[in-house]
Amino acid sequence: MSGASTFLRTKSVETSVQTDFVRKNEDARHRPHRVIVVGSGVAGLVTALTLKARCREARLPIELAVVTKSTIDESNSRYAQGGIAAAVMPGDTVESHIADTMAAGAGLSDAEAVAALCADGPARIRDLIAWGVGFDTEGAVPGAPFEAGLEGAHSAHRILHAGGDATGLSMESALVRAVRRVGIAVLSSTFLADLVVSAPVLADKVRSNVLSDGLSPQESSSAAVVGVEVIRGGVREVLTADAVVLATGGLGQLYPHTTNPVVATGDGAAAAWRAGALIADAEFVQFHPTALAAPGSFLISEAVRGDGAVLRNAAGERFMEGVHPLADLAPRDVVARAIAAEMARTGAPVLLDATSIGAEELARRFPTISEQMRRRALDWAHEPVPVAPAAHYWMGGVATDLDGRTSVPGLWAVGEVSCTGVHGANRLASNSLLESLVFAHRAAVALADELGSGVFSPTKSGMTAVFTDFVGENVSSPAREPSRAEVQELLWASAGVARSEAGLRAARTQLNGWAVQVAHDDASPEAVARLETANLLQLGRLVVESALAREESRGGHFRTDHPAPDPAFAHHLVQSRAHPEPRLLPTSIAAALRPAAPAAPAAPAVPAAPAVPAAPAVPAAPAVPAAPAAPAVSAAALSPSAPTPTPATTPAVPTVGPSPSGPTPTPTPAPAPASVPVGAIAAAPSTPTPTPAPEGAGHRERVTA
C-alpha cells in the first residue's frame, strides 16, 4: 500500500459540503501540504485554527482536516468546570504561577515547560477572547475586571471562568464556531484505528529516533508517520498526510470511576506507542478528590472548595486541617488520598459541605453542578453531599518537546495525550485547559514553520507505508479476552489512588494473560468498541509497569510500600515498544527529544605563531543597568484589540515541591544519573520484534493487544 495512496478530503457535515474527491497516487510535489489533527477538544481545535491562520499569512497552501471520534464538540474539554489559570489579574505574576505549578508537580515538573506555560498564558487568554469566549466579570458587567477564583494549591485568585462552572463548554463552543467560520474540514464519527508509518516500526535494534539504553538521542529516524487508518461509517479508510497531530485526550476510561466522557479511551496514545513513540510518566494518573459518590457520578469542581466548601467525615468532623497546611485546598493528590483513607477508616463516604456558600451563590457560580444536583434530588445548598475520588487526568502521555514534536517524525501531540513534563507528578488545578491552549499554539506555529521550510514532508519521498500492529507483550497462551469492566476494575484495585508491589505484580500477570483480537477488515461498531478495549488494555500495561518501577511515592503516584519520595527517582520514567521496561530519564523530556548538535570536524593543526607582545590592558566597560521588571498583566489589557503582551523574562524556577504525603517538602532531586542504575530499574535490552510485512502485504487476519 503506497504511502501516498489515498487522501480523503472531506468537508464536515457542519459546513454542509459533501465529499468532493478522492485522489490516488498523485505527484506529491504539486499539491498542498496535508495535516490531519486527530481530536476536537481545545488542543485539537486551537491547533487547527492557529495552523490555518499561520499558513494563510505565509501564503502556504494547506489541506487541513480535524478527525473526531464523536461529534465535534464531544471531548474532555467540554466537561472542564474549574476554569483556566493565567496570571492576568492585578497583583498576580507569572513568577507566582510558575512557583505554584512547580510546587504542585512535586519536584518533577520541567522548569522550561512550566515557564513556557505560564509566560504564554496571558497572550493565549487574549486569543480566546478574540475567538469569542466571554469570561465572567465582576457583577456580570461587560468590561469590568474578571471575576477570578481561587483553587487548591494556587497562591492567588487567577482562575478565569466562563458561564460559571461551564468554562470548558464555553471555550469548546467558541472554538467550534471559529472552525466553522474559517471552513476547516471536520470528519465526525471517525475512529482512529491506527497510525500509518513509512518504514518498519521495529527491527532487530532500537529505532534511531527512540532513546537508547544510555538515554541519549540518536541520529534521525528512517521511519515517519505518513497518515492514519480510520473507521468511518462502517468502512476502513487510509488518510495520508505530511503531519499527524494527536489531540485525543487521556485514558480516564481505564478506570470504572472517572470524570471523563466515554470517548476517553486513550486511542491516540496507544496508536503512538504502536508506532514506536516514546511514552513518559505513564504512572502518574490524577484522581480528582470530589466526584459525586452516586450512580452517574460527575465532577464537583475544586472551585467549590475555593469558595468556602469543606470536607467532613461521616461524623461531621473536618479532617483536612490536620493533613496539610492548605487544608481543603491542598493539592489534589493529597486531598484524594486523605479522602480515600478516611473512607477506609470509617467505611462511609466523605461529605462535601457547601452550605456556607448559600443557595443563591451556588446557583449563580455553579449552575451546571446545581442542575446535576437537582436531577438527583440532592439539596446541596442545605445538606452535605457524598464525594469520592475518581480518575480525572493523565499527567503522562506521548513524550513531546515544547513544540509538540514526538520521537517519531511526522507525528505531533498536544493536550492531555502529550507529556511535556509541565505537570510533573501532579497537575495544578485549572492548568489543563491552559496547557491545551499554550502548547497547541506552539505546535501549530512550529509545524507551520516546518511546512514552509520545504524540508518537512514525509510523504514526498514515496516511501512504502506499513501498518503497525496491536502488541501483546508477554501474553500467555492461550490468552483470554477480558471485558472492559474487568480491565477497569483491575486497574482501580491495583493502580488507583494507592498502589503496592504485590498488587501491581498481580495486575501485571493478569494483564499479560489477556488479549483482544479484532479482524483487520472488521469496521463494525462492535470492532470499534473492542479496539477501544484493546487500547485500554495496552495503556493499562504501561501504567502498571511504570508504577511498579517507581519505588517511591510522588504526586499522583502513591505506593503504600514506599510511602515517601526518593531523590533517586526525581526523574521521568520513559517506555517505548523498543524498550518496554521503564527507564529513568536523566534530562527533561524536551531536552531528551532535542536533536543533538553534530560534532564539528577537527581543525587541521596550525604551526605555532611567534610570540606576540601582550596588548595593554583595556579598561572594563561600565556596568549596564538591569532592565526594570515587567509589570503584571492586568485584566484590562486583555481586550481583543490590545497588542499581545511580551512575556516577562523567565524567572528562576524552584526545583523543590511539596511531598505527596503533605506538608513535608520533597528532598532536592539528586543529580541526573549518567545512565539508569537505580534499584531494580535497568535499561531494557533491545527486544527483537518481527518486521512488518512488505509492501503489498497489508491485509491482516487479526490484530492483537
For residues 197, 200, 204, 210, the Cα torsion angle rounded to the nearest 10 degrees is -20
Q: Beta strand 285-292 with 310-312: parallel, antiparallel or unpaired?
A: unpaired
DSSP string computed for 121-185 = HHHHHHHHHHHT----BGGG-TTSPB--B--TT-SS--EE-SSSS-HHHHHHHHHHHHHHHHT-E
Evaluated on CA atoms 271, 273, 277, 282, the torsion sign reads: positive
Where does 403-545 show beta strands of DSSP type E? 411-413, 418-419, 466-467, 517-518
Question: What is the end-to-end Cα distance of the chain in Å, rounded?
Answer: 23
Which are the contacts of 230, defined by CB distance < 8 A and separation ≥ 6?
A: 67, 187, 190, 191, 192, 193, 236, 237, 238, 239
Known catalytic residue: 484? no
Which residue in 372, 472, 423 sits closest to 703, CA to CA?
472
User: 659 phi and psi, to 5 degrees?
Assistant: -70, 145
Amino acid (one-letter) located at 416: E
Q: Alpha-carbon distance 415 to 250, whole Å?
A: 9
Q: What letter represents residue 236's amino acid?
A: R
Q: What DSSP line would sit under 322-358, residue for residue?
A: GT-TTGGGS-HHHHHHHHHHHHHHHSS-EEEE-TTT-
Can you tell me the distance from the alpha carbon of 256 to that of 269, in angstroms, rounded to the nearest whole number? 19
Buried b (16+ CB within 10 A) or exposed e, 227-250: bbbbbbeeebbbbbbbbbbbbbbb
By three-state DSSP, how is residue 658 classified? strand
C-alpha cell at 625: 543597568
Give the C-alpha separation, 99 to 83, whole Å: 19
d(CA 65, CA 39): 10
Query: Which residue, among 1, 54, 58, has the nearest Cα to 25 in the 3D structure?
Result: 1
User: Bridge-partner residues for 311, per DSSP?
Assistant: 352
Q: Which residues pair with 24 in a beta bridge?
A: 6
The phi-psi region of residue 58 (left if phi > 0; otherwise alpha if psi is between -120 and 50; otherwise beta) is: alpha
Catalytic residue, chosen from 124, 332, 405, 427, is 332
Measured in whole angstroms, the distance separating CA 10 from the mean position of its chain's CA atoms is: 28
Angle between helices 525-549 and 267-274 (to 10 degrees): 70
428 and 85 Cβ atoms separated by less than 8 Å: yes
SS (H, E, C) 229-240: EEEECCEEEEEE
Residues 6 or more apart whose CB falls under 8 angstroms from that of 190 comprise 67, 68, 69, 230, 231, 232
Q: How far is CA 701 from CA 519, 524, 610, 697, 704, in A?
A: 5, 15, 77, 11, 10
Residues 187-225, buried b or exposed e (16+ Cβ, 10 A)? bbebbbbbbbbbbbbbbeebbebbbbeebebbeebebbb
Tell me the pairing of strands 190-197 and 185-187: unpaired
Alpha carbon dihedral 567, 568, 570, 575, in 10-degree steps, equals -160
Which cell goes with 595? 536533536
List active site positions.
332
